[in-house]
Amino acid sequence: AQSVTQLDSHVSVSEGTPVLLRCNYSSSYSPSLFWYVQHPNKGLQLLLKYTSAATLVKGINGFEAEFKKSETSFHLTKPSAHMSDAAEYFCVVSLSTDSWGKFQFGAGTQVVVTP
């Protein structure tokens, strides 16, 4: 069975400071991992994905994530937060190697950016 845990339900940062969103996963085999962002009243947008290539993954808007197998983690970071980063972020694991489309979502982390 696979699952994903986002360790923080809310994160508050000041504009220009680093952002860290934590995600741990459990998987019986090598997972595919994703980070998505959801702005208010919008759909989900892919930030980045890990699929067993490089462990450090760069995404859009300056975000990156590092896959650490030993720690079963896939934390999302950004060096300098912008006001437009205020949104909800989801860590997602793909549930099956032989069947796409059954994503397991974390509970989400709400990011607040203060001026």
Partner 1 sequence: KAGVTQTPRYLIKTRGQQVTLSCSPISGHRSVSWYQQTPGQGLQFLFEYFSETQRNKGNFPGRFSGRQFSNSRSEMNVSTLELGDSALYLCASATRGVGTEAFFGQGTRLTVV
Binding region for partner 1 (CB under 8 A)? 32, 34, 36, 41-46, 49, 51-52, 90, 94-108
- Within 8 A by CB and 6+ apart from 46, the residues are 34, 35, 36, 59, 60
The least distance separating partner 1 from the CB of residue 105, rounded to whole angstroms, comes to 4
State which residue, 66 or 105, has the beta carbon closest to partner 1.
Answer: 105
Least distance (Å) between residue 96 CB and partner 1: 8
CB of 27 to partner 1, least distance (A): 13
Task: State in Å, rounded, how far the first CA of the chain is from the last one.
Answer: 42
CA angle 31, 32, 34 (to 5 degrees): 130
